[in-house]
Amino acid sequence: MNQPLMPKATAVWLIDNTALTFEQIADFCSLHILEVKGIADGDVDHGIRGADPIAAGQLTRLEIEDCQKDKNARLKAIQKRDDLPEVARRVGKKYTPLSKRQDRPDSIFWLVRNHPELLDSQIGKLVGTTKSTIQSIRDRTHWNSANLTPVDPVSVGLCTQVDLDNAVQKAFKRIEKRKAEEAKKYEGEGISAPENITNEQVEEINIEQSEKPVNKETETPTEKNIEEKILPEDTKNQEEKKYTSDSVFAKLNELKKEDKK
C-alpha cells in the first residue's frame, strides 16, 4: 500500500471526520499509533490542517464505512495506474525546518537522558544535528545547558516514532552482539570473568595482586634475629674497650710510683 502524500494531514482529517480506530489510521498513514494518539490529543503537530483523502482520490467513502464496521479491517488505498515510483530515502544530514531548530537541544537532552544506549551518530540522524552539539549537551558544556528541558522529539515533530523505535532496536542489537563476542573471547581463553568487569579492570586487579607488600609478621623475626646477633657483639666490644682503658691507667700509676721511689 502506498503512503499518502501528506500522512499527518490525512490522519488529522480521518480523526476528525471518521470513527476509525487509531490502529487503522496509523496503518493507512504509515505512522506510529502513539503519533496518532498525540495528534488526536493535540500534543503532536497541533497546527496541521486536515487533508481529505476522498477528494485526493486515495480512498472511497465505501471503504471507510466498511472499516468503521469492522475494527480488524484495514484501509486499502485506490490503486492508480499512473502512480509514481517510490523515491528512495535520501542519505545524509536531515533537514530541520527553521521553526523547529530551537527545539533540537531540548530533544537531544531528552534522548541522552532516556536512551543512553543510542550513539551520537544515531541521535544526529534522528534530530538532524552535529556530534559536537550532542557531546556538549552530554558534558553539560552547552551554552544554554542551564535552561535545557527534556522534550520528546516525536511530540515536537523532529522525528517519527517508527524511526526512534528502529534506532533503539539497532542499539540493543549492537550491545547484545558485543556481549556475545566478549563471552566467546572469554570462553576461548578459558577465563570465566563476570559481565560487569572489563578487561582493563581485570588487568588492574592482577597488577595490584603482584605488587602486594610482604607481610610484616614474616619480616619481624629476621629483624629480631639480626638485632640479637648485633647487640652481643657491641657489648663485647664495649667491655673490651673498658678493660683496656683501666689497665692502661693502672700501669701508669704503677710507673709513677716506681719513679718516686
- Break the chain into its structural domains and give their ranges: 7-69, 98-182
Is 53 exposed, middle or buried (CB count within 10 Å of its CB: 0-12, 13-18, 19+)? buried
For Cα atoms 137, 140, 141, give the angle at the middle one, nearest 5 degrees: 90
What is the chain's pLDDT, residue by residue, as a tens digit (261 residues)?
567 878 888 999 999 899 899 999 999 998 888 888 888 888 876 778 888 888 888 888 998 999 999 888 888 888 765 555 555 655 556 677 777 888 999 999 999 999 999 999 999 999 989 999 999 999 999 999 899 999 999 888 888 888 999 999 999 999 999 988 888 887 776 665 454 444 444 445 444 544 444 444 444 444 444 444 444 544 445 544 444 666 766 777 777 666 665
pLDDT for 41 equals 85
Amino acid residing at 221: P
Distance between start and end Cα atoms, the chain: 146
Q: What angle do CA 126, 26, 91 make, to 5 degrees?
A: 30
Check residue 149 and give its pLDDT.
Answer: 92
Burial class (CB in 10 A: 0-12, 13-18, 19+), 221: exposed
d(CA 175, CA 173): 5
pLDDT at 201: 47
pTM over 0.85: no
- DSSP code of residue 77: P
Per-residue pLDDT, 224: 47
pLDDT at 101: 86
> Residue 82 has which C-alpha cell?
499512473
Q: Which residues contact 212 (CB under 8 A, 6 or more apart)?
A: none
One-letter amino acid identity for 64?
A: I
Helix (H, G, I), strand (E, B) or coil at 101: helix
pLDDT for res 151:
92
pLDDT at site 230: 46
Q: Is 255 exposed, middle or buried (0-12, 13-18, 19+ CB in 10 A)?
A: exposed
